[in-house]
Structure 1
């Protein structure tokens, strides 16, 4: 299965270039209305890397204007987020009452479920950027926090932003070399970096100190849990003690996000087990060993939990893998 789709208008007759770009973007990203002063000789290149539910695309195109009105959202809404790193030229977007222009090294987050009006200004050449698109439900941040960042200009040059933008540029540059198994791993890494980048900006920009503290504390605790998922002794009491807070405070932190501590641990463990079961390099590793690696010491309990989460047993899931 090919992970990469390449598109170049120079491979097409001049008269077909703009229409082909219009069709490509409507199918690969989200439908929007596009116009350009360069429609008679439109220039664009795209390298789209399909990592399953995560898509990373390197894009270059002539100046254009795009709109995604409410009528289009009602007709088709994939409920995705798009994070765009501008590399050359500028992008301006109106969304959610904000009017933001981003230049080279800056980042903007869009929400496909909210109307937008945007402009890409390339000057005499093309505007360039890297875009990540993924379902909103995959971002482990509360909806109200995501709205705080939508349509804001975020720095891609300070250390956290440079880490993300540098990774995305390198990721798309090597896109043709990845295998299907690489795709699943890279999707996880990409989402983790996007989450870390957005969470960082929430911490430094939140005007409410108490909320900032609680958000930072929750992120710290989640990172601790991630590092210790393979420990079968990991429990709410262990986590609370490691962070010098009461068990009640720990449960309140997770409860504010609509989840339980144990439920979040179980979900993350199951996700990692599913990832390993889908990895052909781990074919020789028994299911029970994969379960134990991520803290499931009872094979029967693991099998029941996996079936409840994904609708099939671990063995069935592994056999059905493409």
Structure 2
């Protein structure tokens, strides 16, 4: 997937602050620096385009910016910004009292309202994953979007945890995706972002039916991944946990061209395969790897693994560890 990278370290010290301001202005909307970074300031940004949306992980030193009424009058692209704080603290003022954000909290603002943002409130570096998306692309009424913008949203539970996981996985595994994946990834991003906003309003009914369906499917997939170790994980149990019928659960999986049970088997085998190939886990007995993947019966696991990968789990581990030793 095509991305662009920006580093202030590539520039003369005297030019870094202004270059970073210009970069932020291009990514979201024009801003002013209200606290100029010192001579040791450093910032790094990667921009990953997903259709109309931009996802941009960044690491930066301490600084502060302001989006003013004058800047809004001169240029308003009507963009929404959502920032997932990974490390550090961020101060924020929009239309309420000052707020302080920490790791795995979402901070939101939009280009149409004045705000001030202070990154690294104690002088520390801030790691974040930001999203900029046109307001018109969110499948929610504009007045409902306004009610959420500027409020604290959690990235540790519920839909927020799904969105946080999606963003961190995307930026950590970007080489796994191609430009052809961008439209699909944009759809997932917009659905999760809209669901996060709607959930904050307790108004999931505000979402279009298709967005609700896709969001529910993502929640179910995350639930399955979290419960792979449970040998009693079944379609009936998954449906009950999400208050839907088993037949509706199966319909949600039609787009995956597999059954619910088939996807569970695939994930369990992939989880076991990854564990067997990990040198750091070479001391873990194969039967324990199988149990952690949700297999109570070792012989059932061995047969399934051989059918999927053409060799026994022990043979696969031996070959994978030899290849790892050879590459080292």
TM-score grouping bracket, smaller chain normalisation? 0.5 to 0.7
Task: Output the CA distance in 1 between the equivalents of 2:114 and 2:164.
Answer: 26
Partner of 1:156: 155
Offset at residue 94 of structure 1 (A): 1.4
Superposed displacement of residue 52, structure 1: 2.2
User: Deviation per CA, 1:135-191, whole angstroms, max 9, x where unpaired?
Assistant: 101111112211111111111111321111121111122334532211122111111
| SS of residue in 2 equivalent to 1:41 | coil
TM-score (norm 1): 0.62
Q: Gapped runs of 5+ residues in structure 1?
A: 204-214, 228-322
Equivalent residues of 2:191, 2:214 under 8 A apart: no
Cα offset for 1:100? 2.3
CA distance in 2, matches of 1:83, 1:34: 19
Deviation at 1:32, TM superposition (A): 0.3
Partners of 1:124 and 1:218 lie apart in 2 by 41
Q: 1:217 to 1:91 in 2, by over 3 A?
A: same
Instruction: Give 1:223 shift.
Output: 4.9
Q: What CA distance in whole angstroms lies between the structure 2 residues aligned with 1:77 and 1:217? A: 30
For 1:105, the equivalent position in structure 2 comes to 104
Residue 48 of structure 1: aligned partner: 47
Q: Distance in 1 between matches of 2:211 and 2:181?
A: 23
CA 1:42–1:176 in 2, change beyond 3 Å: closer, same or farther? Answer: farther
Q: Scaled by the length of structure 2, what TM-score is found?
A: 0.61
Distance 1:224 1:168 in 2: 19
Aligned to 1:234: none
> Where does residue 75 of structure 1 map in the other structure?
74
2-side partners of 1:202 and 1:40: how far apart?
43
Shift of residue 18 of structure 1?
Answer: 1.8
**In the alignment, is the contact (CA less than 8 A) between 2:92 and 2:98 conserved in 1?**
yes
Is 2:139–2:207's contact at 8 Å kept on the other side of the alignment? no
- Partner in structure 1 of residue 17 of structure 2: 18
C-alpha distance 58-44 of structure 1, shift in aligned 2 (>3 A):
same
Contact 2:195 2:212 in 1 (8 A): no
Provide the aligned C-alpha RMSD in A.
2.4
- 1:114, distance to aligned residue in structure 2 (A): 0.7
Q: What's the offset of the Cα at 1:109?
A: 1.6
8 Å CA contact retained: 1:43, 1:126: no
Contact 1:37 1:63 in 2 (8 A): no
Partner of 1:121: 120
Question: What is the deviation of 1:123?
Answer: 3.6
Rounded to whole Å, the distance in 1 between the matches of 2:98 and 2:141 is 23
Corresponding residue pairs, total: 216
Q: Residue 4 of structure 1 contacts residue 175 of structure 1 at CA under 8 Å; is this kept in 2?
A: no
1:44-88: CA deviation from partner (whole Å, max 9, x where unpaired): 111110112100000111111111111101111000111111111
